[in-house]
Chains A and B, each alone.
Chain A
Amino acid sequence: MSALVATPVLVPLATVALTALAAGRPRLQQVLSGLGSLALLLCALLLLGQVEGGEGARLAFGNWPAPFGIEFHVDRLSAALVLVTALMGSASLLFLASDADPGRRHPLLLPLLHGLLVGVGGAFVTADLFNLYVWFEVMLICALGLLALGARPDQLDGAFKYMVLNLLGTLLLLISVGAVYAATGHLNFTALSQAAPSLPPALAAVLLTALLLSLLLKSGAFPLYAWLPASYHTLPGPVLALCAGLLTKVGVYAVLRLTGDVFAPVPALLPEALGWIACATMLFGVLGAAYHWDMRRILAFHIVSQIGYILLAIALDSAAGNRAALFYTVHHIVVKATLFLLAAMIWRYTGSYDLRRIGGLFRARPRLALLFMVPALSLVGIPPLSGFWAKLVVLQEALARGHYAWTAVALLVSVLTLYSMMKIWMEAFWKDHPQKGWSLPRNTRLAPAWCATLSLAAVTLWISFAPQALLAYAEAAALSLGGGR
């Protein structure tokens, strides 16, 4: 049934409208939002089951056939990312029911969160270049709304920086989509991939470079990543986890889709440039993180650094590289969101995100300290956790392609990542609380938060101990892309 293909957009869109209608009644709004996220999760699972066997599922809206109408196309790559999106949405909404840094309860909070899921889901399933731009716009508007909801001066400051740099990227994306349309007369992915080889090579390179520049800005790659650490830390915890997990990864997905599938094979200069950009992204992200003491800022800089690894995998420009990119993306979304959620729980227990003002949690909450180790060490890439397998597949392919310099940078960045994670662990858990006579706050309501983080950690552990399932899936996904043909 092609009916399922539209659900990654339609289910959250219906939830947006229903939660907005119920804006005056918080309880009803929460019930609707919970039901909406569960429905999305169910649809994503069904969709994954449907595409796993074969070609993938297509839907031409309004029965206007491609290349004229707008198509959604779900293949293995899209289905996996939609499922992770639904999982992250459910986990963040569950976490929102706890009292760990929930932020101000604005009646528009839940509609905007689901609106974010609409944009992310749409970007993952669309098979139309202009439609892709529209979903980026939807994400931008919702993220901007979420940033500005609290109306604190620092949030408005962050929202302004976020808006200026992202609008620049959106404009560049729109201009380059227009230029692609002018050059080829197509926007549909399949039609583009057939029309691209007949373009003059120089023109194709210029068009693709413009597209990639705007998408790299959206993914927070070097040198235009400043908007990300400047704005993310002003968001409330669960919202931050959702944005951090998903938003930049949509940009990376679009880079992968365009270079590895639609326009594959790309001119040789492009992957080479992308590889160096990836190295700079890794390095500058991790160095920024080493400087900061606010947990949210440290983790935000690590998003940038990890984006570098995924871009590196894409820059390898091979089926094995694309496989590694998908594996890394799934691992990274789960781990990153867990880390932000755990940081919000640490905030609830100790009262601050600033590592200099907190401590003593190991004695008070040893299980939280152990739980934190799972995503933290996985992010670093300590075996046998999921990050180890993710880095292994990236670096194996980098070495096989003879990119020794890129491999060296990636290994160096891993060591620096270990330093940051250990900094958080030592400061928040191991050392004594700087305030004498500090004790845990009473009356915390953290059961939903434990539930959400434990299930995400369980997903990480599943990837860690049974990586073969995800690796095989990612391989099949990469082989069905244009780059693997």
Chain B
Amino acid sequence: MKRRVVMLEAAAGPLYWVILGSSLWVLLRGHNEPGGGFIGGLLAVSASILWAVSHGSGAARRRLPLKDPLRLAAAGVLLAGFSGLPAWLGGQPYLTHLWGKLPLGFMEYKVSTVLLFDLGVYACVWGALAGYALALLELDEGPPEEERR
């Protein structure tokens, strides 16, 4: 049985969402400033690791989108690959990215297929590295039946 650390568990609740939120912010600012899918994905992995340390890796795995690191990574690869297809249909080389503007009233937000690509990288990095990290953390936890209390 894993020892519970109450302070860590209490802090992990809000911190998880703060880290995930900042990872999304890093993902979105990545077009013209440092950031992007890869770094955002790494931040998201750290949120998963925090949850695994405080609540166990099984719980952290169930918190991932699609409930499984492998499926998350595969979906990311598909999304990133798909982002190059619209250009293909328009007769341009694969992965040529298309840009558009979304008026929000107070500002214009640039939307593009690059965002889809970045989201794919984000999901792939999050899934693949969280998969490794959770599997390694699991080695310390003993048999999985015990930690699912």
A residues contacting B by CB (< 8 A) are 2-3, 6, 10, 13-14, 16-18, 20-21, 23, 59-63, 108, 111
The answer to whether B93 touches A61 (Cβ under 8 A) is yes
The answer to whether B71 touches A21 (Cβ under 8 A) is yes
Q: A6-B94, A13-B77, A61-B95 are in contact. List 9 more A-B contacts (CB 8 A).
A: A3-B94, A17-B75, A21-B71, A23-B70, A23-B71, A60-B93, A61-B94, A62-B96, A111-B74
Give the chain A neighbours of B71 by CB distance below 8 A: 20-21, 23
Give the chain A neighbours of B81 by CB distance below 8 A: 10, 13-14, 17
Q: Give bound CA distance, A62 to B97, whole Å.
A: 7
Count chain B CB atoms within 10 A of each CB in A6, A10, A16, A17 and give the residue with the most. A17
A-B contact pairs, 6 of them (CB 8 A): A2-B93, A10-B81, A10-B94, A16-B74, A17-B75, A21-B78
The answer to whether B95 touches A20 (Cβ under 8 A) is no
The SS class assigned to the A binding surface is: helix
Give the chain A neighbours of B73 by CB distance below 8 A: 20
State the total of A-B contacts with C-beta under 8 angstroms.
Answer: 48
Q: Give bound CA distance, A325 to B88, whole Å.
A: 35
Q: Give bound CA distance, A62 to B92, whole Å.
A: 8
Give the chain B neighbours of A14 by CB distance below 8 A: 78, 81
Q: Give bound CA distance, A18 to B82, whole Å.
A: 13
Give the chain A neighbours of B92 by CB distance below 8 A: 63
Residues of B55-106 at the interface with A, using a CB-CB cut-off of 8 Å, are 70-71, 73-75, 77-78, 81, 84, 87-88, 92-97
B residues contacting A by CB (< 8 A) are 70-71, 73-75, 77-78, 81, 84, 87-88, 92-97
The answer to whether B97 touches A18 (Cβ under 8 A) is no
The answer to whether A20 touches B70 (Cβ under 8 A) is yes
Give the chain A neighbours of B74 by CB distance below 8 A: 16-18, 20-21, 111
Which residue of the partner chain, among A3, A17, A61, contacts B78 with CB atoms under 8 Å? A17
Give the chain B neighbours of A2 by CB distance below 8 A: 93-94
Closest CB of chain B to A150's CB: distance in Å? 18
Closest CB of chain B to A394's CB: distance in Å? 38
The SS class assigned to the B binding surface is: helix
Give the chain B neighbours of A13 by CB distance below 8 A: 77, 81
The answer to whether B78 touches A59 (Cβ under 8 A) is no
Count chain A CB atoms within 10 A of each CB in B73, B77, B93 and give the residue with the most. B93
Give the chain A neighbours of B78 by CB distance below 8 A: 14, 17-18, 21
Q: Give bound CA distance, A16 to B84, whole Å.
A: 17
Chain A residue at minimum C-beta to C-beta distance from B66: A21
Q: Give bound CA distance, A20 to B131, whole Å.
A: 13
Give the chain B neighbours of A3 by CB distance below 8 A: 88, 94
The answer to whether B77 touches A63 (Cβ under 8 A) is no
Q: Give bound CA distance, A16 to B71, whole Å.
A: 11
Also in contact, A62 and B70, with CB within 8 A (given A17-B81, A18-B78, A21-B75): no
Closest CB of chain A to B148's CB: distance in Å? 19
Closest CB of chain A to B74's CB: distance in Å? 4
Which residue of the partner chain, among B75, B77, B95, B96, contacts A16 with CB atoms under 8 Å? B77
Closest 7 CB pairs of A and B: A20-B74, A63-B96, A17-B77, A62-B95, A17-B74, A17-B78, A21-B74
Give the chain B neighbours of A59 by CB distance below 8 A: 93-94
Give the chain B neighbours of A20 by CB distance below 8 A: 70-71, 73-74
The answer to whether A63 touches B93 (Cβ under 8 A) is yes
Q: Give bound CA distance, A14 to B88, whole Å.
A: 16
Closest CB of chain B to A134's CB: distance in Å? 15
Q: Give bound CA distance, A14 to B81, whole Å.
A: 8
Q: Give bound CA distance, A63 to B81, whole Å.
A: 16
Chain B residue at minimum C-beta to C-beta distance from A72: B94
Chain B residue at minimum C-beta to C-beta distance from A111: B74
Q: Give bound CA distance, A2 to B84, whole Å.
A: 14
Q: Give bound CA distance, A23 to B66, whole Å.
A: 13
Chain A residue at minimum C-beta to C-beta distance from B127: A20
Q: Give bound CA distance, A6 to B81, whole Å.
A: 11
Q: Give bound CA distance, A63 to B93, whole Å.
A: 6
Count chain B CB atoms within 10 A of each CB in A60, A61, A62, A108 and give the residue with the most. A62
Closest CB of chain A to B66's CB: distance in Å? 9
Give the chain A neighbours of B95 by CB distance below 8 A: 61-62
Chain A residue at minimum C-beta to C-beta distance from B93: A63
Give the chain A neighbours of B84 by CB distance below 8 A: 62
Count chain B CB atoms within 10 A of each CB in A6, A16, A21, A111 and give the residue with the most. A21
Q: Give bound CA distance, A19 to B71, whole Å.
A: 10
Q: Give bound CA distance, A356 to B65, whole Å.
A: 54
Give the chain B neighbours of A23 by CB distance below 8 A: 70-71
Q: Give bound CA distance, A63 to B78, whole Å.
A: 21
Chain A residue at minimum C-beta to C-beta distance from B74: A20
Closest CB of chain B to A383's CB: distance in Å? 46
Q: Give bound CA distance, A108 to B78, whole Å.
A: 17
Q: Give bound CA distance, A18 to B70, whole Å.
A: 11
Q: Give bound CA distance, A14 to B75, whole Å.
A: 10
The answer to whether B75 touches A62 (Cβ under 8 A) is no
Q: Give bound CA distance, A62 to B93, whole Å.
A: 6
Give the chain B neighbours of A18 by CB distance below 8 A: 74, 78
Chain A residue at minimum C-beta to C-beta distance from B89: A3
Give the chain A neighbours of B93 by CB distance below 8 A: 2, 59-63
Give the chain A neighbours of B70 by CB distance below 8 A: 20, 23, 108
Q: Give bound CA distance, A21 to B71, whole Å.
A: 5
Chain A residue at minimum C-beta to C-beta distance from B92: A63
Give the chain B neighbours of A61 by CB distance below 8 A: 93-95
Give the chain A neighbours of B94 by CB distance below 8 A: 2-3, 6, 10, 59, 61-62
Q: Give bound CA distance, A2 to B93, whole Å.
A: 7
Closest CB of chain A to B9's CB: distance in Å? 31
Give the chain A neighbours of B87 by CB distance below 8 A: 63
Q: Give bound CA distance, A3 to B95, whole Å.
A: 11
Chain A residue at minimum C-beta to C-beta distance from B97: A62
